[in-house]
Structure 1
Amino acid sequence: MLDIRALVERVGPTLLRTVVAPEPGVCVGDVVIAEPDQPPTAAGGDLVLGVAIPDREHAVALTRDCGAKGAAAVLLKPPISADDAVAAAARDAGVALVEVRPGTAWAQLVWLIRAALAGTDIEEADAPTAGVGDLFRLADAVADVVDAPVTIEDARSQVLAYSARQDLTDPARISTIMGRRQPDDVLAKFRARGTFRQLSKGSSAIFVPAQQDGTLPRLVVPIRMGGELLGSMWAVVPGEVSEERSTAFADTAPLVALQLLRWRAVADGERRRSAEQVRLLLEGGEGWRAAANELAVPAEAHRVVAIEMPPSASPAEGHRLAMWEWITRGIGRRPLVTEIGTMLYALVPDRGRAGGWPDLRAALTSHDVSPRPLIAVGTAVAVAELPQSRSQAEELIGLLRTGQLQQRVAVYEENWHLLVLSRMAGAATDAGIGALGPLPVLREHDRTQGTEYLATLHAWLRHPGDPRQASRELRVHPNTFRYRMKRLTQLVEVDLEDPNVRSALFAQLLADRWAQHG
């Protein structure tokens, strides 16, 4: 265990300065936050932080109470820490008085002291490679400062970390923790109160009163760095918070912002590495097996999902990934993703249990995203054959892009008939079949005279013997349709009774339409 002198040395003179020296051999137990007008909950050896101590009188009373309870030291900020009466009270009570340097965030101090007490190097606790665990420990430190359970959230209200004591909150907070994001109905209520508008403009703590549905009050602080809103911290409080404690909560924001930037840098690096390995799986070749091992892809059938945003949407990577994270939240382990060109690709196991293709399909079809992305899914294949599933998804994206498919989620094996027609039309176009027979005459007549003979013939071939259905497809009266067919057969000589002629004409018209869409 550390004594006061050793602890001050480890945390460093840039943050702490001893005003009244401690008794020899007094070891530090834990960190306690003091409340004004309340006796401290300190026990023997505790460090008592005067986070919300407003003046000399409260500081003197605090040091006396701490001495009576055997606390090791009281930590205060200037100018109270330099007050002669406070120092005298500390000497009389046998308690060390330590000054916390101006500008030091209380949460940072709690974090570093606990790191020192746990035997963790201060450099390690303040390392530039912060992970998720660091954010959770930081959330605990912030919660101690504000004396309330806290969540740290990103700019999209997704929970990155949360402190202990969440059982003392309300159903809205519990739902937030369980879903790792504030529920939509809760967000709507805070938006209606203008909370997010205040977050976007200010930097101080915002108090949100209790709501009629039982949602407890919140103290909210924006997290910024260089003008960018990185996220926010939300504390569930029992009621109005003192100005001192509210200020202390807001003062923790720069420290949290630094850690969020560090966490984001680590997460971005991991995401890029993962995306590169997924890209190797989709491209095939010699590196696929090593990529599968690094990603821990299970040896089971997978599908490739291809997603393309329409031209009217933002092409930025962040936009596509944000949309994907929103769609897939709550389905278990999120599918592995990568971006190649303008396309987002995901690998999803073709299994019925949690996190498999049925879960993802339900999520893709239930979320109404605007503008609506184009989503296509290849067949289930072994991991080694993922390039095949990718090419199938891309073929369907082509049909969605040209409007020949209108589905929200196009699945390869469910659209085989359209794929047959598409490939046949492509081959027919390459073979130049459009120049044969009567179609060139009808095509030229439509172009010069404004008629619609090609569309009329296509509808007649699609609905043989059913002029009412054919006319409905063209949105004309059945008599108009019959008249067009009569004029068409007068313009060109064609035997529509011959099944081979009908098949040839249909292939030509299909190739024509596919070429126009392409």
Structure 2
Amino acid sequence: MVDIRGLVERVGPALLRPVVVPQDTCGVGDVVIAEPEDPGGIGTADVVLGVGITDRAWAVELVRECGARQAAAVLLKPPVCAEDSVISAAGEAGLALIEVRRGAAWAQLVWLLRSALAGTDPGAAAGSPQQVGSAGLGDLFRLADAVAEVVDAPVTIEDAHSQVLAYSARQDVTDPARVSTIMGRRQPDDVLAKFRARGTFRQLSRGGSAVYVPEQPDGTLPRLVVPIRMGGELLGSMWAVVTGEVSEERASAFADTAALVALQLLRWRVMTDSERQRSAGLVRSLLEGAEGWRAAANELGTGAEQHRVVAIDVRASDGTDEGHRLAMWEWITRGIGRGPMVAESGGVLYAVVPDRSGTGGWPALREALLAHIHEMDAADPRPLVAVGTATPVAELPESRGSADEVLALLRTGMVERDIAVHEQLWHSLVLARTAGAAGDAGVGALGPLQRLRDHDHGQGSEYLRTLHAWLRHPGDPRAASRELRVHPNTFRYRMKRVGALLDVDLDDADVRSALLVQLLAERWNPHG
């Protein structure tokens, strides 16, 4: 039987961090969700999740109650898990106190903890890329059970057409509408009509938070509903049958689970499409120049025309990269015409498109991508789109390499474009390659430029940027000052200080060229 230390290690530091762990720990029993006012379900050796605990006094009370009942650990989110009184209470109770990372969904944690206790791979339960091919509706049913524990109510997971995809096992709170929904695998038309009349679906289409629907005159119990969306697309919704108003903390925890459900739903939709998976394998053969690339090209029907590789990178600040990537995959395969010529590698989507006009060609995909990017919600991460050179199918690895080179420019922020095409950025690529070679040669250590670096670091000045602007706009201080967004007099003063610190002849063309190369290496390789 795994103890609390082993359980935390299995789930991983991305979600859990030990705050207090007793020297002697026993095996973990079960995972339960409890709050201080309802501790009855806590048993010996349980791991207790403090869902909705944001008050220090509540946290202390829960820790003491769990200690009295000989639980194994209490899991809390910041900031209460770092409070001295909570830490002291855990130490006195001989109880493990574990911090749950701020962005983690409670349903995800229930799912992963139970998988770890059952001896299965938590990564597989979460649907890691290595296990993604095995994702199925069974995972959605298990996830529905985890969400039901978080919201403390029976749950159904439905698609955008109100078809039931999964539902939780618990039936302690139910009504005829829920029974009919589960039996018919969709919400009955009369029930849908009532919710539409109340504006429930309109609220779901516009927002991202949980929507409370009061009890209906016909006895239909209250519902807490949350939209499931990813990448700007409404994928469906989750419905919890509740007995009355739900606390803000519990409703927020319920809404937080939507991202995890969206990820699993997208994973299931994408990865259970056998045609899409077969095509992705063929596309990877073309991108890598594998031995069977000719057969792959024939099966994909690429023809003899030239193609481009389009690299698309989606990075989300909330850690939902995979969900947004899968949403983009679905969107592309619906929009490029005759076939889903898309594959994923290293967290990047690669689309192979013919370099010709018309349906399915690169210009059509470019226009569709631009429209899609401009229509995205402000909260959605904007994808980085890098386009490789047009090449014969046999040379697609070269097109992929050029797309990756452009993608590197976008990632550093040195180039800012909705869609960056390799041949249109030749000048930036020349500078990037020159800077890379200069950085490898150690040119930054030569000459007096270190004095400016030291001054900027110690005094908070911007003399390196000032010098770079002066070199970029020779003889035009107004243009240089506009680039820096300072007054021309401020720019001239800075340049006097730069000249004094460097103590070199800035009128010498070779000195200016050498400084420009050093600054390029500094700018394009800031960590090199």
TM value normalised by structure 1: 0.52
Following superposition, the deviation at residue 52 of structure 1 comes to: 1.4
Question: Equivalent residue for 2:472?
Answer: none
Superposition deviation, residue 266 in structure 1: 3.0
On the 8 A contact 2:108/2:126 being kept in 1, the answer is no
Q: Which residue of 2 aligns with 1:80?
A: 80
Q: CA–CA distance in 1 between the matches of 2:276 and 2:187?
A: 24
| Equivalence for 1:164 | 169
Residues 326-361 of structure 1: CA deviation (Å, up to 9, x unaligned): xxxxxxxxxxxxxxxxxxxxxxxxxxxxxxxxxxxx
* Structure 2 counterpart of 1:122: 122
Match of 1:222 among 227, 230, 248: 227
* Deviation at residue 145 of structure 1 after TM alignment: 0.5
Equivalents in 2 of 1:33, 1:221: separation in Å?
20
Q: Which residue of 2 aligns with 1:137?
A: 142
2:173 and 2:255 map into 1 onto residues whose CA distance is 22
Task: Classify the secondary structure of the residue corresponding to 1:168.
Answer: coil
| Aligned partners of 1:40 and 1:65 also within 8 Å | no
Q: Which residue type is aligned with residue 226 of structure 2?
A: V
* 1:107 alignment counterpart: 107
Instruction: Please report the RMSD computed on the Cα atoms of aligned residues, expressed in angstroms.
Output: 1.9
Q: Deviations over 1:17-71 (max 9, x none)?
A: 0001135231111111112423251100101100011200000000000011111
1:262 to 258, 267, 279: 267
Question: Over residues 163-209 of structure 1, what are the superposed CA-to-partner deviations in whole Å (9 max), with x where a residue is unaligned?
Answer: 11125210100000000000000000000000000000000000000
Alpha-carbon deviation of 1:12? 0.3
Cα distance, 1:267 vs. partner?
3.6
1:358 — aligned with what?
none
How much has 1:317 moved relative to structure 2? 9.7
Deviation at 1:122, TM superposition (A): 1.6
Change (3 A) 1:188 1:270: farther
Q: Is the 8 A contact 1:36 1:52 kept in 2?
A: no
SS at match of 2:273: helix
For 2:182 and 2:63, how far apart are their aligned partners in 1? 38
Spell out, residue by residue over 1:116-150, the C-alpha distance to the aligned partner (whole angstroms, 9 max, x if none).
01111122112223101100010011011001110
The residue aligned with 1:147 is 152
Q: Which of residues 168, 171, 186 is equivalent to 1:181? A: 186
In 1: Cα distance, 2:171 partner to 2:191 partner: 17
Aligned partner letter, 2:4: I
Mapped pair 1:55 → 2:55: yes
| Partner Cα separation in structure 2 for residue 263 and residue 180 of structure 1 | 18
Aligned to 1:206: 211
User: Following the alignment from structure 1 to structure 2, what is the Cα–Cα distance between the partners of residues 257 and 4?
Assistant: 30
Paired with 1:226 and 1:268, the residues of 2 have a C-alpha distance of 20
Does the 8 A contact of 1:155 with 1:231 survive in 2?
yes
**Is 1:19 aligned with 2:19?**
yes
User: Who is 1:487 aligned against?
Assistant: none
Provide Cα deviations, 1:374-398, integer angstroms capped at 9, x if missing partner. xxxxxxxxxxxxxxxxxxxxxxxxx
Residues 59-68 or 158-167, more deviating: 158-167
Matched, 1:231 2:236: yes
What one-letter code is carried by the residue in structure 2 that aligns with 1:125? A
1:112 partner letter = L
CA contact 2:173–2:242 (8 Å) conserved in 1: no
Q: In 2, are the aligned partners of 1:140 and 1:162 still within 8 Å (CA)?
A: yes
Is the 1:23–1:96 contact (alpha carbons within 8 Å) kept by the matching residues of 2? no
Q: Supply the distance in 1 between the matched residues of 2:210 and 2:36 (Cα, whole angstroms).
A: 20
Question: Is residue 22–residue 73 contact of structure 1 (8 Å, CA) maintained in 2?
Answer: no
From the superposition, tell whether residues 85 and 251 of structure 1 become closer, same or farther in structure 2 (CA, over 3 Å): same
Are the counterparts in 2 of residues 205 and 247 from structure 1 also a CA contact under 8 Å?
yes
Cα deviation 1:252-280 (Å, max 9, x = unaligned): 0111100000111134337999xxxxxxx
2: distance between equivalents of 1:71 and 1:155? 41
In the alignment, residue 12 of structure 1 is paired with which amino acid? G
**In structure 1, distance between residues paired with 2:39 and 2:268:** 38
Q: Percent identity?
A: 74
**Per-residue CA shift, 1:204-255, capped at 9, x if unaligned?**
0000001111111100000000110000000001110000010000000111
Q: Secondary structure at the match of 2:17?
A: strand
Task: Provide the C-alpha distance between the structure 1 equivalents of 2:164 and 2:188, rounded to a whole number of angstroms.
Answer: 11
Q: Which has the larger radius of gyration?
A: 1
1:379 corresponds to:
none
What is the alpha-carbon distance in structure 2 between the residues aligned to residue 269 and residue 195 of structure 1? Answer: 35
Question: Which of 196, 199, 214 is residue 201 of structure 2 equivalent to?
Answer: 196
Question: Number of matched residues?
Answer: 276
Q: Is the 8 A contact 2:145 2:170 kept in 1?
A: no
Partner letter of residue 183 of structure 1? P
| CA distance in structure 2 between the aligned counterparts of 1:252 and 1:22, rounded to whole angstroms | 31
Q: Which amino acid aligns with 1:105?
A: A
d(CA) in 2 for partners of 1:270, 1:19: 47
- Cα gap change, 1:272 to 1:104, in 2 (>3 Å): closer
CA distance in 2, matches of 1:4, 1:167: 31
Uncovered stretches (5+) of structure 2, i.e. residues with no partner: 279-332, 336-528
Q: 1:175 and 1:121, CA in 2 relative to 1: closer, same or farther beyond 3 A?
A: same
Output the CA distance in 2 between the equivalents of 1:211 and 1:36: 31
The SS at the match of 2:249 is helix
Contact residue 221 and residue 250 of structure 1 kept, 8 A: yes
Does the C-alpha gap of structure 1 residues 195 and 103 become closer, same or farther in structure 2, counting only changes over 3 Å? same
Partner AA of 1:102 in structure 2: R
Can you list the C-alpha shifts for 1:447-485, whole angstroms capped at 9, x where unaligned? Answer: xxxxxxxxxxxxxxxxxxxxxxxxxxxxxxxxxxxxxxx
Q: Residue in 2 aligned with 1:33?
A: 33
- Long gaps (5+) in structure 1: 274-315, 319-518
Give the 4+ runs in structure 1 shifted more than 4 A.
270-273
**Number of the residue aligned with 1:240:** 245
Where 1:189 maps in the other structure, the secondary structure is helix
Rounded to whole Å, the distance in 2 between the matches of 1:3 and 1:150 is 31
With 124-133 and 62-71 compared, the bigger mean Cα shift is at: 124-133
Secondary structure class of the residue paired with 1:166:
coil
- Does structure 1 retain, via aligned residues, the 8 Å contact 2:10–2:116? yes
Match of 2:9?
Answer: 9
1:485-500 equivalence runs, <5 A:
none
> TM-score, normalised on structure 2?
0.51
CA distance in 1, matches of 2:255, 2:277: 33
Structure 2 counterpart SS, 1:78: coil
What is the rounded CA distance, in whole Å, between the counterparts of 1:202 and 1:231 in structure 2?
Answer: 13
Looking at structure 2, the residues matched to 108 and 22 of structure 1 have their Cα atoms a distance apart, in angstroms, of 26
Q: Secondary structure at the match of 1:231?
A: strand
